[in-house]
């Protein structure tokens, strides 16, 4: 296992950063987050057609590039840094990874090529009305009637759930939880966009009433497989949070160098130095945790659950801390709508709760190591 990036991985990072700098400046982000789609379909098409990003972490036999969680983490860090609204996270990091690790060749052959070429968007629906992401708390049900699986229940906080072409829904069967693919517009489905703190990431409520679904992955009790899916989602989010943390530090340092008080840059004041140093320390710890977890996921070892819980806890708190300090260092201007500091803080706080609060990850980590 190594945390040193290859020349190809560094070039991937540079390419994505150049692309996002050109296509996703702050003005564009603000325009997209208030649009009906929530993103720019033309930019999504360019991500797929020019950079081939949607298929980055998929096997070549399904139209992908043969990469894995580390390459995916590199891209997500750059997207988090640019705060770009995009179907990428839900489609690739959530639904795409769930399909890749499913062991279901038919499902992979059916949906991965479309996701890889950008023609299909998808998402993963886990949490119910309780807001819990624990498999033990899944309330939606799936039952077989006349040879078909029918899914019933309510899913909350589904990323891009109102616009995705394909929904992968976790539902409980008589044997245990399983994963079911449901097409957008299926009879018995109602999708409702939710009002959210973070306008750059759309969430939705999905109501299902005996909706026809296709079973994906192992039959019977699929708890083990679904825990892996959720761990991969946490690892992917951690990488995105690292990118956001880096953006907050860069913004704070740049402002501290140019803002002058008492004839001195505020960066020369000890209090500001301490704030920036603390954020840098948090960033480096988060980066190590996130990429260690991605490396473990790529190697397929049994340490994934531990590394995911660690990254999920640490990276979420590091991002929120960095976003708050960035706002504080900017002072009054940081609280205005025109400045981007509040956008990063909102993304940080929203992401902090997305797959469970940091405390829930620490509780799981304690259970895993026997504390």
pLDDT 10s digits, 269-288: 999 999 999 999 999 999 99
pLDDT at 77 > cutoff 60? yes
**CA distance linking residue 168 with residue 182, whole number of Å:** 6
CATH of the domain at 284: 1.20.140.10
Q: Is residue 244 part of a domain?
A: yes
When pLDDT is averaged across residues 188-216 and rounded to a whole number, the result is 95
Tokens 């044997």 belong to residue:
175
Query: Do 260 and 326 reside in the same domain of the chain?
Result: yes
| Three-state DSSP string of 225-277 | HHHHHHHHHHHHHHHHHHHHHHHHHHHHHHHHHHCEECCEEHHHCHHHHHHHH
In this prediction, residue 158 carries a pLDDT of 97
Residues 323, 192 share a domain: no
Interval 201-214 mean pLDDT: 96
Taking 80 as the threshold, does the pLDDT of residue 205 lie above it? yes
pLDDT score for 2: 54
The span from the CA of 247 to the CA of 357, in Å, is 22
Same domain flag for 129 and 116: no
Tell me: do 323 and 363 sit in the same domain.
yes
Domain boundary, last residue among 159, 182, 216: 216
Domain at 107, CATH number: 1.10.540.10
What is the per-residue pLDDT for 263?
83
Residue 1: pLDDT over 80: no
Name 264's bridge partners.
261
Query: CA–CA separation, 35 vs 29, rounded Å?
Result: 10
The total of structural domains in the chain comes to 3
* One domain for residues 203 and 229: no
Do the beta carbons of residue 233 and residue 94 sit within 8 Å?
yes
Domain of residue 72 covers 7-120
Strand 166-172 versus strand 122-125 pairing type: parallel
Of 103, 120, 137, the one marking the end of a domain is: 120
pLDDT of 157-177, one tens digit each?
999 999 999 999 999 999 999
243 lies in the same domain as 342: yes
Asked which of 173, 198, 216 is the last residue of a domain, the reply is 216
pLDDT band at 73 (very low <50, low <70, confident <90, very high): very high
Secondary structure of residue 208 in the 3-state scheme: strand
pLDDT of residue 232: 97
Please state whether beta strands 141-145 and 177-183 pair in parallel, antiparallel, or not at all (unpaired).
Answer: unpaired
Cβ–Cβ under 8 Å, residues 122 and 168: yes
108 plus 129 within the same structural domain:
no
**What's residue 127's pLDDT?**
95
283 & 267 share domain: yes
Q: What is the pLDDT of residue 3?
A: 67
309-363 confidence digits (pLDDT tens): 999 999 999 999 999 999 999 988 888 988 999 999 999 999 999 999 999 999 9
Q: What confidence score (pLDDT) does residue 332 get?
A: 86
Burial class (CB in 10 A: 0-12, 13-18, 19+), 371: exposed
Looking at residue 327, its pLDDT comes to 94
57: three-class secondary structure by DSSP: coil
Tokens of 184: 């957008």
pLDDT in tens, 124-155: 999 999 999 999 999 999 999 988 999 999 99
Residues 256 and 362 in one domain: yes
Q: Is residue 181 part of a domain?
A: yes
Whole-angstrom Cα distance, residue 240 to residue 276? 20
Q: Do the domain assignments include residue 271?
A: yes
Residue with tokens 């699929």: 222
Quick: pLDDT tens for 2-59: 568 899 999 999 999 999 999 999 999 999 999 988 899 999 999 999 999 999 999 9
Output the pTM of the full model. 0.95
pLDDT tens digit sequence for 222-266:
999 999 999 999 999 999 999 999 999 999 999 899 888 888 888
> What local confidence, expressed as pLDDT, does residue 4 receive?
80
**Ordered DSSP codes for 301-361:** -TTHHHHHHHHHHHHHHHHHHHHHHHHHHHGGGGGSTTSTHHHHHHHHHHHHHHTS-HHHH
pLDDT higher than 80, residue 75: yes
The rounded mean pLDDT for the chain is 94
Report if residue 1 sits inside a domain.
no
Work out the average pLDDT over 288-299: 94
- In this structure, are 158 and 296 located in the same domain? no
């Amino acid at each position: 296992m190594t945390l040193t990036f290859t020349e190809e991985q560094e070039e991937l990072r540079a390419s994505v950063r150049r692309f996002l700098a050109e296509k996703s400046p702050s003005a564009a982000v603000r325009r997209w987050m208030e649009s009906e789609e929530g993103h720019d379909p033309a930019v999504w098409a360019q991500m797929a057609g020019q950079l081939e990003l949607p298929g980055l972490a998929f096997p070549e036999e399904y139209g992908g590039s043969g990469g894995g969680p580390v390459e995916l983490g590199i891209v997500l860090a750059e997207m988090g840094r640019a705060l770009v609204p995009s179907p990428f996270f839900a489609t690739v990091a959530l639904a795409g990874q769930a399909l890749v690790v499913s062991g279901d060749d038919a499902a992979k052959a059916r949906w991965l090529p479309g996701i890889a070429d950008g023609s299909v968007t998808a998402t993963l629906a886990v949490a119910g009305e309780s807001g819990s992401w624990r498999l033990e708390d899944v309330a939606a049900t799936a039952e077989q009637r006349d040879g078909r699986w029918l899914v019933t229940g309510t899913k909350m906080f589904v990323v891009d759930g109102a616009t995705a072409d394909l929904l992968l829904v976790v539902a409980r069967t008589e044997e245990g939880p399983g994963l079911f693919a449901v097409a957008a517009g299926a009879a018995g489905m109602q999708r409702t966009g939710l009002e959210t703190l973070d306008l750059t990431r759309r969430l939705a409520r999905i109501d299902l009433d005996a909706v026809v679904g296709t079973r994906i992955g192992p039959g019977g009790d699929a708890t083990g497989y679904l825990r892996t899916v959720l761990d991969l989602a946490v690892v992917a989010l951690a990488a995105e949070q690292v990118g956001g943390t880096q953006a907050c530090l860069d913004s704070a340092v740049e402002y501290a160098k140019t803002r002058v008080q008492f004839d001195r840059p505020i960066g020369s004041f000890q209090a500001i130095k301490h704030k920036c140093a603390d954020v840098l320390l948090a960033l480096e710890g988060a980066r190590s945790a996130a990429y260690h977890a991605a490396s473990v996921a790529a190697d397929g070892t049994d340490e994934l659950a531990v590394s995911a819980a660690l990254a999920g806890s640490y990276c979420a708190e590091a991002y929120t801390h960095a976003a708050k300090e960035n706002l504080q260092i900017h002072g009054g201007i940081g609280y205005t709508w025109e400045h981007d500091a509040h956008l990063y803080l909102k993304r940080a706080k929203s992401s902090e709760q997305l797959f469970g609060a940091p405390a829930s990850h620490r509780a799981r980590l304690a259970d895993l190591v026997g504390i």
